Amino acid sequence: MKKVFIYFFVFLLVFFLLPALLTKKNVEAKVPENNVEDSIEQVSDNEYDYKNYGTIKLLHSDTGEVEEVPLDTYLCNVVSAEMPVDFELEALKAQAVVARTYTIYKIQNKKHDNAGICDDSSCCQAWLSKEERFARWDEEKRESNWAKIEQCVNETKGKIITYNGTPINAFFHSNSGGTTELPVNVWGGGTNLPYLQVIETAGEEGYSQYQSEAIFTQDELIEKLKSKYEDITIDFNNNDDLKILDYTDSGRVKTVKFGNHELSGTETRSLFDLRSTNFEIIKEDGNVKFSVKGYGHGVGMSQTGANSLAKEGKNYEDIIKHFYVGVEISDVNSL
Ligand SMILES: [Zn+2]
């Protein structure tokens, strides 16, 4: 008689209780799918929601075409064009945050009428299509290089640099020669910003961008100067006729005397195509040699300096706060 009860109980369990329990579970499992709050949480776990800057309008300067692209896709193209991929991860992450900040700043300050930013490095910041970028990398390293760039952009999603709650004008350059420059000494009056100061960074000298030289014969030097100053005359036997007159606080050249004219350091840099305004003038074997330290205008973050700091164990936030004084790392959606 006991056996009959057991069979009956098993029968009940298999045909009624278990299906009922399973059905209940299914019903419960379906609830979160219809729950709006839960589904938003799930999306933000995987994909950052750029409220105002989901896509940007990129002007291709050679064709004049304006392309609308997701911000972080654009940033991968910028970071891979602006910084060597074999640099440290934290340096590349700093570059990603700097490039994101620079982009938002350009959009907000409307540099271009019909686009947020352009792909010309001398106007906005460098950009290379993935195809162009791949063509310049060794074939076996292309995918892993790109994955490294994507990792740096993804791990800093939504992060920008702010000062008093607004995005900074995040200038950057290749190599500071050991000391960064104030914007007023590069672009003139009224361009100084409190977060851009003279900053020293160790380790800049270990890079190929640190040291360069440009040599001109006396005739070549005169010819270049004549393109701007027709009446130029220099007595090369007189040491006072060709010399640096003064320097900026960062040690860069402020004014140079070329015979009967005085040129600024930045004008001299551009006329003789020097890598920076941090130079010495040396007369050697009848030629004039510019011995140059650093590469670029010298304002804001130095890329090789960022790499040196990363090698010392600094993270991307430390690196950014080293080059930009008094800034915060903020979320772009808080703007
Ligand atoms: Zn531009």
Q: Give residue 15's pLDDT band: very low, low, confident or very high (50, 70, 90).
A: low
* Dist. CA 111 → ligand 1 center (Å): 7
Q: Give residue 335's pLDDT band: very low, low, confident or very high (50, 70, 90).
A: confident
What pTM was computed for the model? 0.83
The tokens for 313 are 């164990």
pLDDT in tens, 88-135: 999 999 999 999 999 999 999 998 999 999 999 989 999 999 999 999
Residue 191 pLDDT exceeds 60 = yes
The tokens for 29 are 């499992």
- Which residue has 């292309």 as its token pair? 142
Mean predicted confidence (pLDDT) in 154-164: 97
Burial of 137 (0-12, 13-18, 19+ CB in 10 A): middle
Q: How far apart are CA 23 and CA 20, in angstroms?
A: 5
Give how far Cα 320 sits from Cα of 25, 72, 84, 195, 315, Å. 50, 19, 18, 11, 9
- Contact call for residues 50 and 158 (beta carbons, < 8 A): yes
Give how far Cα 71 sits from Cα of 99, 100, 150, 308, Å. 10, 8, 12, 28
* Dist. CA 92 → ligand 1 center (Å): 22
* Dist. CA 15 → ligand 1 center (Å): 72
Q: How far apart are CA 40 and CA 20, in angstroms?
A: 31
Give how far Cα 1 sits from Cα of 5, 9, 12, 334, Å. 7, 13, 17, 74
- Which residue has 């906005």 as its token pair? 124
The tokens for 154 are 């993804």
* Dist. CA 65 → ligand 1 center (Å): 13
pLDDT in tens, 122-149: 899 999 999 999 999 999 999 999 999 9
Q: Look at residue 40 in the predicted model and tell me its pLDDT.
A: 38
SS (H, E, C) 198-241: CCECCCHHHCCCCEEEEEEEHHHHHHHHHCCCCCCCCCCCCHHH
* Dist. CA 117 → ligand 1 center (Å): 5
Q: Give residue 18's pLDDT band: very low, low, confident or very high (50, 70, 90).
A: very low
* Dist. CA 218 → ligand 1 center (Å): 37
* Dist. CA 118 → ligand 1 center (Å): 4
Cα 266-322-301 angle, rounded to 5 deg? 35
Judged by DSSP in three states, 269 sits in helix
* Dist. CA 109 → ligand 1 center (Å): 11
Instruction: Work out whether strand 301-302 and strand 172-173 pair parallel, antiparallel, or are unpaired.
Output: parallel
* Dist. CA 40 → ligand 1 center (Å): 36
Q: Give residue 275's pLDDT band: very low, low, confident or very high (50, 70, 90).
A: very high
Q: Give residue 3's pLDDT band: very low, low, confident or very high (50, 70, 90).
A: low
- Contact call for residues 59 and 112 (beta carbons, < 8 A): yes
- Residues by chain with Cβ below 5 Å of ion ligand 1: 118, 123-124
CB atoms within 10 A of CB 246: 9
* Dist. CA 292 → ligand 1 center (Å): 28
* Dist. CA 60 → ligand 1 center (Å): 9
Q: How far apart are CA 186 and CA 99, in angstroms?
A: 20
